[in-house]
Amino acid sequence: MQKQDKPDRYVSFVGIDGDKNSQELIGLLRRHIDDPTKSNPFWEQFKEKLARVGQPDQNGGRSLDELFLVHSYINNIRELFEEYDDEGALELLEQVERESC
């Protein structure tokens, strides 16, 4: 049996709020990519994908969510947080990866 204070996604997602954590992580990411001095064409396209979250009619019938985008671009996100020494964001990214990806 798993301990509730240390959820294990391989046993159950009980106690893991992957959606909330990924949405918080995207908020931390936006602090960087919404700054024109830190953005680039990749992040501009990523923001376009974020704008289509929860809108399958805007995305060829596929419904995107923040957790899917974090999972799909986790290495790019990690690299950005490392570049700007964002330790808090890196810790949350590690948690999201461990619990939900």
User: How many percent of the chain have pLDDT more than 70?
Assistant: 84
How does pLDDT run across 2-32, given as a tens digit for each residue?
445 665 554 555 667 788 999 999 999 999 9
Choice between 62 and 30, residue whose per-residue pLDDT is larger? 30
Residues 6+ apart with CB under 8 A from 55: 63, 64
What are the extents of the domains in the chain? Answer: 18-56+63-100
- Count Cβ atoms below 10 Å from residue 100 Cβ, excluding itself: 18
